[in-house]
Amino acid sequence: MGQYNHADDINPGSGFWSLNPFWALTFLPTPNTEFSTRLQYLHNFKNSDPAGGAAPFRAGDAVWANFAASYKVLPPLDVGLNGYWFQQIEADTANGQATPQLETTNFSLGPGVMYQPDASNSFFVNAYLPVIARNTTQGFHLVFRWIHVF
């Protein structure tokens, strides 16, 4: 239970390993402003025994960035602009054949709000509107996030 099994069409895992190093940066030019980004690279290894008897498969490598700029309007409330850019830089391969027509590109922007009522809780609401979306889900995305420090 909870492990990849090539005999099952639906699995909790992917059946292959990935390497995902990242670099994060935050710049605070004034006490009320913040600029931050996280740059990531994803390298996927091959699944030699995929589900359903499919041919060996390798998801293509990708790079992406999450970024935000915010301004503190009140001590517990920040508002700003956030977004992400995702680019698949290598085609998926199935049985050794590349599928470049399926490479994914996504660039989305939108407003964001962070409310921090105390040192242990932060609430985020981020809206993302697609600017470029190729071979991926399209449309408006709304993300709610709560961080609680124990």
Q: Is 50 exposed, middle or buried (0-12, 13-18, 19+ CB in 10 A)?
A: buried
What does the domain layout of the chain look like in residue ranges? Answer: 18-148
Walk along the chain (150 residues) and give the pLDDT tens digit of each residue.
567 777 777 776 777 889 999 999 999 999 999 999 999 999 999 888 777 777 788 889 999 999 999 999 999 999 999 999 999 999 888 888 888 788 899 999 999 999 999 999 999 999 999 999 998 888 999 999 999 999
Q: How far is CA 125 from the centre of its chain?
A: 16
The whole-model pTM stands at 0.80
